[in-house]
Amino acid sequence: MTSALQITGGVPLEGTIEVRGAKNFVPKAMVAALLGSTPSVLQNVPEIKDVKVVTDLVALHGVEVNNDGQGALTLDPSNVTRARYADIDAHAGDSRIPILLCGPLLHTLGEAFIPDLGGCKIGDRPINYHLDVLRNFGAKVEKLESGIKMSAPNGLHGAKVELPYPSVGATEQVLLSATRARGRTELRGAATEPEIMNLIAVLQKMGAIITVQTDRVIHIEGVEELKGYNHRAMCDRIEAASWGSAALVTGGSIFVKGATQSDMMTFLNVFRKTGGDLDIRDDGIQFSHPGGSLNPLVVETDVHPGFMTDWQQPLVVALTQADGVSIVHETVYENRFGFTRALKGMGANIQLHRDCLGSTPCRFGQSNFVHSAIISGRTPLKAKDIHVPDLRGGFSHLIAALGAEGRSKVTGVELIQRGYERFTSKLEALGANFDVVDA
Ligand code: EPU
């Protein structure tokens, strides 16, 4: 993978690209394969770093993984085994996936290990909900110098769990732990993102009994055995929306093959409110700049069915090109506006605030977190050398450079590869003007 891109901005991105399986679903489905007694087949798998990390991690635990090179992964969990802590640590990289391996490993081996976890630096990203969930199911949690050791010599049992916040990861933790636990589980305060519904679909194919009720309540009846699944991963709705914002920022028109309307309704409404043109088809969505001016917006990020926090950063770049004042209130992560510093350096007019500048006060309102932004547009963007801070912030820097006048050097682009499959080939297909250079 390249380490720097020299981008000459000002060229509208135009053409067709394809987006494959979701970064925030595929790794979880790969982990679910460990719960089966027979091999699973997962299709539409993208070539991104997170898939490679999870492949290495499950392989370390004895899962035989076969990639056909066309996007189909076969995962055979017949010989799941213990792995050395140092190896888990070395292979986990920045990934938070080891925490989700705990339930399946506790069922099969009676123990699991979590090294110090990484992931994008977008707030504290604690794992307290996960640890509480696992304790509820009967796991013993022991802090070691190198990480956290879990054990459940007598297996896991069903439990009543109430999450303080509808966390995506903690909901997945419950699903992956409860399906093979003894007895029933009731989860209150569950997250209901499409990625979670897709994971439930996978688990149901495997033989699980999971009922999703109203008001964020999920019931799971534990079963003794699950078999393998065959499933096509849902499209990455974060990547799809990111390209939609790229079309707005560069004044272009991008057909995103694979983009699925039902998973993106909230984004599509916001896109249309900015004045963007949409053509929603069965095989994908065309996102186009209208050609005139864009409208400013008031947007709050939220859990599903709200506006995703991961849609926020590329949209903020588009809002620098809208005529008027936009307000964005981030309510999912306390620290997700760091990327705006580089945008300000490129000429954007963005003010950050500690107050909740939305209609609903959020968890961060009484704390000292800078989690609201006022964006005044329209401000032409000027080229700047930028170092990518995290995945979504990095993609937004990339599209800012593509929309800016002049030549920018963007370093640290490997981070973008964590979640955007072959993005340089896609940029080429869309007519972007860039060169791959030494960092
Ligand atoms: N939280 C806690 N304690 C926990 C877990 C979460 O306080 O034990 C808090 C977090 O700090 C955050 C909130 O709960 O403020 C929501 O976090 P959540 O658990 O929902 O996030 P996650 O499961 O760690 C996934 C995605 C994120 C995405 C969020 C929200 C994956 C691998 N990651 O993270 O994706 O932003 O859900 O939708 O699925 C990305 O793709 O760039 C990304 C960061």
For ligand 1, atom 2, name the residue with the nearest CA.
Answer: 126
Residue 361 has pLDDT above 60, yes or no: yes
Residue 122 has pLDDT above 60, yes or no: no
Describe the strand order of the beta sheet including 217-221 as a list of residue ranges.
Answer: 160-162, 184-188, 217-221, 209-213
Asked if 73 and 41 touch (Cβ cutoff 8 Å), the reply is yes
Nearest by Cα to 51 from 31, 76, 80, 77? 31
- CA 190 to CA 208: how far, in whole Å? 18
4-19+235-436 and 26-232 in the same fold: yes
For ligand 1, atom 33, name the residue with the nearest CA.
Answer: 24
What residues contact residue 185 under an 8 Å CB cut-off, 6+ apart? 137, 158, 159, 160, 161, 174, 178, 219, 220, 222
Instruction: Please tell me what DSSP assigns to residue 412.
Output: -
For residue 146, what pLDDT is reported? 84
Distance 170 CA to ligand 1 centre (A): 9
Asked if 248 and 318 touch (Cβ cutoff 8 Å), the reply is yes
Distance 120 CA to ligand 1 centre (A): 10
Instruction: List the chain domain ranges.
Output: 4-19+235-436, 26-232
- Compute the average pLDDT of residues 32-58: 96
Distance 169 CA to ligand 1 centre (A): 6
Centre a 10 Å sphere on the Cβ of residue 264 and count the other Cβ atoms it contains: 24
For residue 11, what pLDDT is reported? 96
For residue 44, the one-letter residue type is N
- Three-state DSSP class for 39? coil
Residue 303 CA, closest ligand 1 atom number: 38
> The dihedral of CA 281, 287, 293, 297: what is its sign?
positive
Residue 334 CA, closest ligand 1 atom number: 15
Residue 304 CA, closest ligand 1 atom number: 38
**CATH superfamily name and code, 4-19+235-436:** Enolpyruvate transferase domain (3.65.10.10)
User: What residues flank ligand 1, with Cβ below 6 Å?
Assistant: 23-24, 96, 120, 123-130, 165, 167-170, 191, 238, 308-310, 332-333, 391-392, 419
Distance 429 CA to ligand 1 centre (A): 32
CATH 3.65.10.10 fits 26-232, yes or no: yes
Residue-wise pLDDT for 46-64, tens only, equals 999 999 999 999 999 999 9
CA distances from 248 to 186, 276, 345, 428 (A): 43, 7, 20, 18
For ligand 1, atom 15, name the residue with the nearest CA.
Answer: 333
Residue 193 CA, closest ligand 1 atom number: 38
User: Quick one: pLDDT band at residue 438, thresholds 50, 70, 90?
Assistant: confident
What is the separation, in whole angstroms, between the first and last Cα of the chain? 12
For residue 359, what pLDDT is reported? 83
- Compute the average pLDDT of residues 131-147: 93
- Compute the average pLDDT of residues 104-110: 96
Residue 127 CA, closest ligand 1 atom number: 8
Asked if 376 and 397 touch (Cβ cutoff 8 Å), the reply is no
Q: Which of 332, 362, 420 to probe ligand 1 with, by most ligand atoms within 8 A of CB?
A: 332
For residue 96, what pLDDT is reported? 83
Residue 98 has pLDDT above 90, yes or no: no
Distance 168 CA to ligand 1 centre (A): 6
Q: Which long-range contacts does 81-90 make (Cβ < 8 Å, 24+ apart)?
A: 81/109, 82/109, 82/111, 83/113, 85/113, 85/115, 85/144, 85/146, 85/147, 86/146, 87/60, 88/57, 88/60, 88/113, 88/115, 88/147, 89/115, 89/116, 89/146, 89/147
For residue 439, what pLDDT is reported? 82
Residue 167 has pLDDT above 80, yes or no: yes
For residue 124, what pLDDT is reported? 62
DSSP per residue, 128-171: HHHHHHHHHTT-EEEE-SSEEEEE-TT--B--EEE-SS--HHHH
Nearest by Cα to 318 from 398, 246, 243? 246
Q: Which of 49, 51, 134, 167 to probe ligand 1 with, by most ligand atoms within 8 A of CB?
A: 167
Distance 126 CA to ligand 1 centre (A): 9
Residue-wise pLDDT for 190-247, tens only, equals 999 999 999 999 999 999 999 999 999 999 999 999 999 999 999 999 999 999 999 9
Residue 119 has pLDDT above 70, yes or no: no
Describe the strand order of the beta sheet including 4-8 as a list of residue ranges.
Answer: 386-387, 407-411, 4-8, 433-437
- Compute the average pLDDT of residues 178-199: 98
For residue 160, the one-letter residue type is K
- CA 356 to CA 328: how far, in whole Å? 9
Average pLDDT value over all residues in the chain: 95
Question: Among 102, 120, 356, 362, which one carries the catalytic annotation?
Answer: 120
Q: Is 1 exposed, middle or buried (0-12, 13-18, 19+ CB in 10 A)?
A: exposed
For residue 303, what pLDDT is reported? 97
Query: Between these two residues, 87 and 237, which has the higher pLDDT value?
Result: 237
Residue 128 CA, closest ligand 1 atom number: 8
Distance 388 CA to ligand 1 centre (A): 20
For residue 157, what pLDDT is reported? 97
120 is catalytic: yes
| Residue % of the chain over a pLDDT of 70 | 98
Question: In 222-342, where do the E strands start and end?
Answer: 230-232, 253-257, 277-281, 284-288, 298-300, 324-329
pTM of the model: 0.96
User: Quick one: pLDDT band at residue 314, thresholds 50, 70, 90?
Assistant: very high
For residue 186, what pLDDT is reported? 98
Lowest mean pLDDT among 137-146, 250-259, 313-322: 137-146
For residue 366, what pLDDT is reported? 83
Residue-wise pLDDT for 126-136, tens only, equals 899 999 999 99
Residue 121 has pLDDT above 70, yes or no: no
Residue 1 has pLDDT above 80, yes or no: no
Q: Is 173 exposed, middle or buried (0-12, 13-18, 19+ CB in 10 A)?
A: buried
For ligand 1, atom 40, name the residue with the nearest CA.
Answer: 310
For residue 94, what pLDDT is reported? 72
Distance 404 CA to ligand 1 centre (A): 31
Q: Which of 99, 168, 337 to probe ligand 1 with, by most ligand atoms within 8 A of CB?
A: 168
Interior CA angle at 218 toward 215 and 221, to 5°? 155
For ligand 1, atom 14, name the residue with the nearest CA.
Answer: 167
Residue 120 has pLDDT above 80, yes or no: no
For ligand 1, atom 18, name the residue with the nearest CA.
Answer: 167
